[in-house]
């Protein structure tokens, strides 16, 4: 799938001009395999550390929802923070089946929709590395806004296609993925959040911590060289070594105004 660069006065957005139908995407994500439990745990630790400071300033604890929750590794941390209820929404049945027995009851299978939220007004909606996969991210942000209580918080992590490393790699960057229907930068993300009514928007560049083997898998190296390095890491016992890198991702945190006219 090709990506096309669109420029407007305020935003730069890269997007797929002809995304697949929503029904096709729903089925594809529902049938998707799940084989990244260790990476998911590493990501959850990273995201909880990033969110801690922001959550400390959040007045409400009237529920939290993680959209694109995978096997739910972030959900126990949200519970420990005092959110009640805690819900994870995940379209992949394989990911839900991989969840531990204590987490699985918190997971709901499907795409993000009001029908899965049980008419709850949440204090926190978060979604990490999910927005790029949606055919209409604006619809998602609008639904997230509506599901939040006044003063509630939205937190999303996305790739920044204008980050130095991604600009250097160009089409060889791992973010140029057939599953990504759009890519954001700081301006397009801020524009999207403001358009949907969010305020107090904070966008920051972030690092990620993953095992060395995961980073190697993402590099645009020839497959033969990758296999050689992977075997070298395995033989030296370094393949599972945590490695923190800033590869061009960003965290956006935004607040639904307390004086929202629709509430």
The C-alpha atoms of residue 232 and residue 60 are separated, in whole angstroms, by: 49
CB 196 within 8 A of CB 141: yes
Identify whether 93 is part of a domain: yes
CB 92 within 8 A of CB 110: no
Identify whether 156 is part of a domain: yes
pLDDT for the residue 161: 79
Identify whether 240 is part of a domain: no
The C-alpha atoms of residue 212 and residue 2 are separated, in whole angstroms, by: 30
Phi/psi at 174 (5° precision): -60, -20
pLDDT for the residue 12: 64
- The total number of structural domains that make up the chain: 1
Identify whether 233 is part of a domain: no
| Residue ranges of the chain with per-residue pLDDT less than 50 | 1-3, 5, 7-8, 30-31, 33-35
| Upstream peptide bond of 85 is cis (omega within 30 degrees of 0) | yes
Identify whether 193 is part of a domain: yes
Identify whether 214 is part of a domain: no
pLDDT for the residue 25: 54
The C-alpha atoms of residue 92 and residue 98 are separated, in whole angstroms, by: 10
pLDDT for the residue 79: 96
The C-alpha atoms of residue 142 and residue 123 are separated, in whole angstroms, by: 15
Give the range of the structural domain holding residue 52, as residue numbers without chain letter. 4-207+247-255
Q: How many residues in total does the chain contain?
A: 263
CATH of residue 104: 3.40.50.150
Smallest CA-to-CA distance from 197 within 112, 255, 149 is with 255
The C-alpha atoms of residue 141 and residue 137 are separated, in whole angstroms, by: 6
In tens, the pLDDT along 219-244 reads 777 788 878 777 887 788 777 777 67
pLDDT for the residue 181: 80
pLDDT for the residue 1: 46
Identify whether 186 is part of a domain: yes
Identify whether 226 is part of a domain: no
Smallest CA-to-CA distance from 199 within 259, 126, 159 is with 259
Give all strands (DSSP E) within the chain, no chain letters: 4-7, 12-15, 64-67, 86-90, 107-109, 122-128, 148-159, 182-183, 199-211, 242-255
pLDDT for the residue 5: 47
């Amino acid at each position: 799938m090709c990506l096309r660069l669109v420029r407007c006065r305020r935003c730069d957005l890269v997007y797929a001009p002809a995304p697949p139908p929503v029904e096709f995407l729903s089925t594809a994500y529902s049938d998707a395999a799940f084989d990244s439990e260790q990476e998911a745990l590493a990501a959850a630790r990273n995201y909880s550390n990033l969110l801690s400071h922001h959550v400390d300033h959040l007045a409400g604890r009237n529920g939290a929802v993680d959209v694109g929750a995978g096997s739910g590794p972030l959900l126990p941390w949200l519970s420990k923070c005092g959110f009640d209820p805690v819900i994870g929404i995940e379209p992949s049945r394989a990911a839900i089946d991989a969840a531990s027995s204590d987490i699985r009851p918190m997971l709901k299978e499907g795409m993000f929709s009001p029908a899965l939220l049980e008419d709850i007004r949440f204090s926190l909606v978060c979604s990490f590395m999910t927005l790029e996969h949606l055919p209409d991210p604006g619809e998602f942000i609008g639904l997230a806004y509506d599901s939040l209580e006044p003063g509630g918080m939205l937190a999303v992590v996305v790739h920044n296609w204008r980050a130095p490393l991604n600009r250097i790699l160009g089409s060889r960057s791992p973010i140029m993925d057939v599953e990504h229907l759009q890519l954001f930068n700081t301006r397009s993300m801020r524009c999207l959040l403001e358009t949907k009514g969010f305020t107090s928007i904070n966008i920051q560049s972030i690092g990620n911590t993953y095992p060395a083997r995961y980073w190697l898998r993402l590099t645009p190296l020839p497959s033969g060289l990758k296999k050689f390095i992977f075997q070298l890491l395995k033989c030296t016992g370094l393949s599972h070594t945590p490695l923190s890198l800033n590869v061009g991702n960003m965290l956006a945190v935004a607040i639904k105004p307390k004086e929202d006219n629709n509430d």
